[in-house]
Amino acid sequence: MEQRVNQYACTQNRELSWLRFNRRVLEEAGDGTVPLLERLKFISIFTSNLDEFFMVRVGNLFDLSLVSPDEIDNKTGLTPAGQLEEIYSVIPGLIEIKNRLYTEVDALLRQQGICDLTMEELSPEERKFVSTYYKAKILPVLSPQIVDTHHPFPHLANKALYVAALLRGKKGTASLGFLPVPEKLPAFLSMPGAPSRYLRMETILHHWAPTLFGGFKLENSCILCVTRNADLDLDMELLEGGGEDIRSRMSKLLKKRASQSVVRLELSKKIGGEFLKLLKSRIRVESHQTYFDQSPLDMKYVYSLIRSLPEWESLAFPSYRPRWPEDLDDSTSIIEQVRRRDRLLFFPFDGVEPFLRMLDEAAERPDVISIKITIYRLASSSKVAHILCKAAENGKDVTVLMELRARFDEANNISWSRLLEDAGCRVIYGVEEYKCHSKICLITLRKGDKLSYITQIGTGNYNENTNAMYTDLSLMTANEQIGLDGTVFFQNMLVGNLEGAYQHLLVAPSGIKPKLLALIDGEIAKGPEGYIRIKANSMTEREVMEKLVEASQAGVQIQLILRGICCLRPGIAAQTENIHVTSIVGRYLEHGRIYCFGRGKDAVLYIASADLMTRNLNHRVEIACPIYDREVRSQLLWILHTQLEDNVKASSLLPDGSYCRKVNSLAPCNSQEAFMEASIHKPEPRPERPDPLRRLLGGLLGKRESR
């Protein structure tokens, strides 16, 4: 028993850690310094995050509880059923916070004239307008259905909204009725002459529902939404696809997602026993899977609502236009400038335009013979894809390693793969059992008999939409050795070789984790002089965490900047007391990955596509790239330093797994605002300041996360 206690003494469950991250997203909606419409967005982001969590993580645990009920979580010792029990117990508290904050934000928006209306709040003129609109535009497309011996229970689509009704027939028999909210209808209806006053579509349908079920009397009703398991075990099923190609098999498998088990039932209000009992029985959910949420169940409408509002900018973050980096001349060749020295783009503070310009230049230059690129997620209207098509049409050899299994982007990637093929690109799909999550673009040029390379390696996707919302890093280099490694990488991917040898790049699944462990060992050898800084999204890999514990015990100072999941609990005496974990939740989604071992000019620096997660280090194709250029190294060190100085949007992870905001006793530092105001591309980047450990320790005195 003692051994078991020690095994889990400084680790925590990944799902519960993620829920704490999403709580911090929600808490941004309660920050009075955040503009009102942005606070509404944070509630929407929390809601969509939680939806995906149930579809993927809860769905996965649901499957495991059936097929591997005794499988043990190596961070807590919990079985799948035990993890589900913990998750389901936490959710009601989060929903309570969401309802409170939505009510608060809604009241403040009403003071600004922005009203999520009820039918009772309509003026006579507005009521007449809504009635006319309902009869002309809504009623003809409605499909109400009762459930009885002649009408089977309908399939409830994942995350679709329904009006659910308890109906009573003439003989007193109770029946259920369902009214789907049609997807083709707008999510909300603005009042004429007053676009800030609006009715959500489910509000309108709920009002007219009593008139839609014929001779049945409607006794009770609510808005309903189910969440289905969307965690298809694609890898295993793809292996069993016979002679079909992966794209055809993927298209078929995606259809299965719509019919998987329900893992959550959401209701817009508390309902009576008979009604609730019927719903739970027919939908096949338990009480712990059923939640009552008085705020909107689907909040994807928020973004289109904001765009429809007049003068909405005054209630949003000040507009920010990504800059053109000062160290790049926008009037000359980007390729030639990169040949002179490495360049780093820092999204969204820098625009993506320099990379797009370089790629477009490669598509046109006669000395460019090939472009090779890995793609995980593309924008729905992708400039990158169009440039690749143009390059192929111009006779360049274009190879695209397209990952079709990027969750929830599968259909988009299938469509783009066809278009790229039609344009003449060679499209490959990676290795069957390993998703390709790498971000690398290799441009090969030829002058006479000599080949040269421009290599771009990033931490984020080739997606112009997310480049404007996520903080990511993009290195463009003419380093010949990195270019040669890039060539070997694509050759290996073409033949499915995951064990290839590289001189400079680290390539998972075989190359990143061993190097990380060796670099940590290098800092352990320095004892208290050792220093590790890692910025990533999440950390779950047990072997890496155990090595960090060993480093902490050797006196190595370890600063982790982890936005989301952190299964390692810092500050545990004699184990993790030298580990400090910072999480930043702000205007932009923190997404970049930087590995730093050592200090100053002797530091070993990498940027990477990989988080410190089991899936990334062991089960995906990922790339980490060393940083050799002095200017780029200084830029990365300043980024790390500034984020560790953040005392406005940063929280510290405490030994019990909860978070507290860092103390703002010194000059306030919002790292993202600092990056907007001060470029990393100054001729003389700021020197690295003294170790900010003192300030981080001060954060532990801040207000602890309420339970």
Residues annotated as part of the active site: 437
Both structure tokens of 533: 């800084």
Q: Which residues, 6+ apart, have CB-to-CB distance to 456 below 8 Å? A: 355, 358, 440, 441, 442, 443, 474, 475, 476, 477
Which DSSP state fits 586? S
Q: Which residues pair with 266 in a beta bridge?
A: 225, 291
Sheet holding 174-180, edge to edge: 145-147, 174-180, 162-168, 217-228, 262-267, 290-292
Q: Provide φ and ψ at 698, rounded to 5°.
A: -60, -30
β strands within 403-486, DSSP E? 426-428, 435-436, 440-447, 450-458, 470-477
Both structure tokens of 32: 């009075």
| 210 and 252 Cβ atoms separated by less than 8 Å | no
Output helix, strand, coil percentages for the chain, rounded to the nearest 5.
40, 20, 35
Q: Which residues, 6+ apart, have CB-to-CB distance to 703 below 8 Å? A: 660, 661
Collapsed DSSP state (helix, strand, coil) of residue 299: coil
| Residue 438 one-letter amino acid | S
Report the chain's terminal Cα–Cα distance, integer Å. 28
Q: Provide φ and ψ at 453, rounded to 5°.
A: -135, 145
| 425 and 392 Cβ atoms separated by less than 8 Å | yes
Q: Which residues, 6+ apart, have CB-to-CB distance to 246 below 8 Å? A: 238, 404, 429, 432
Residue 508 parent element (H or E) = strand 506-508
Which DSSP state fits 516? H
Q: Which of 299, 357, 291, 295 is nearest to 324 (CA)?
A: 357
Angle between the N-to-C axes of helices 512-524 and 542-553, in degrees from 0 to 180, rounded to the nearest 10? 10
What's the chain's length in residues? 707
Residue 213 parent element (H or E) = none
Q: Cα(290)–Cα(265) distance, rounded to whole angstroms? A: 5
Q: Cα(590)–Cα(584) distance, rounded to whole angstroms? A: 7
Q: Which residues, 6+ apart, have CB-to-CB distance to 691 below 8 Å? A: 531, 557
Q: Cα(599)–Cα(555) distance, rounded to whole angstroms? A: 15
Collapsed DSSP state (helix, strand, coil) of residue 495: helix
Q: Cα(651)–Cα(658) distance, rounded to whole angstroms? A: 10
Collapsed DSSP state (helix, strand, coil) of residue 676: helix
